Amino acid sequence: MSSHEQAQPTPEQEQFTLLMRGLGTRTVVYQQNVAASLGLYNNDFLSVDILREKGPITAGELSKLTGLATGSVTALIDRLEKNRYVRRQNDPNDRRKVIIVPLYENKEDVIDTYLPLHTAMVTLAASYTDEELALISQFLGKASTVLDEQIDHLSSTTRSKSSS
């Protein structure tokens, strides 16, 4: 094959992309089910998930990460604050900003809901050797990076769209 140009995907590579899409579809459905199970709206739960990974961020950053309008994020934070998933905190360095701090106390219902998946995933992981699991984990990190790049790309191109 050529040096860095991928001429044509092999059947194995195409199969791989199909599996990734299938996993993606299932992931979305699963996350929506988790949200419903917790009594949260989809974007509310998505925000909880983002905050879990990123830690405290400002309302504006959450707006960018979720793609929601700032007005929608204000209402979203109100709901999460009422349910004690997060609390607002003023930024002493910039008093315009509102930092959303995730609260994990009293939130074992999230853990409970995730527990069956977590258990199943650990079982799946245990079926691989250390080397295999390391390869898979390394792959997952790279796939996440790819998605981050694609999200960046898509959200920037979507902003500049004309009507059909």
Give least dist CB 104 to its own copies, A: 15
Nearer to DNA, 33 or 119 (CB): 33
By three-state DSSP, how is residue 99 classified? strand
List Cβ neighbours of 54 (8 Å cut-off, separation of 6 or more).
61, 65
Rounded Cα distance, 23 and 19, in Å: 6
Nearer to its own copies, 94 or 154 (CB): 154
Nearer to DNA, 17 or 74 (CB): 74
Chain contacts with DNA (rule: CB under 7 A): 41-44, 58-61, 63, 67-77, 79, 88, 93-99
List Cβ neighbours of 159 (8 Å cut-off, separation of 6 or more).
none
Give least dist CB 57 to its own copies, A: 13
The alpha carbons of the chain give a radius of gyration, in whole angstroms, of: 19
Give least dist CB 132 to its own copies, A: 6
Among residue numbers 22 through 41, which ones bind its own copies (CB under 8 A)? 22-34, 36-37, 39
Residue 63 contact partner, candidates its own copies, DNA, none, CB within 5 to 8 A by sort of partner: DNA
List Cβ neighbours of 155 (8 Å cut-off, separation of 6 or more).
64, 67
Rounded Cα distance, 146 and 154, in Å: 12
Rounded Cα distance, 62 and 42, in Å: 14
Rounded Cα distance, 109 and 114, in Å: 9
Mark residues 69-108: x for contact with its own copies by CB under 8 A, - for none: ----------------------------------------
Give least dist CB 47 to its own copies, A: 10
Residue 111 interacts with its own copies (CB under 8 A): yes or no: no
Stretch that binds its own copies, among 73-81, 86-94, 96-104, 116-124 (CB under 8 A): 116-124
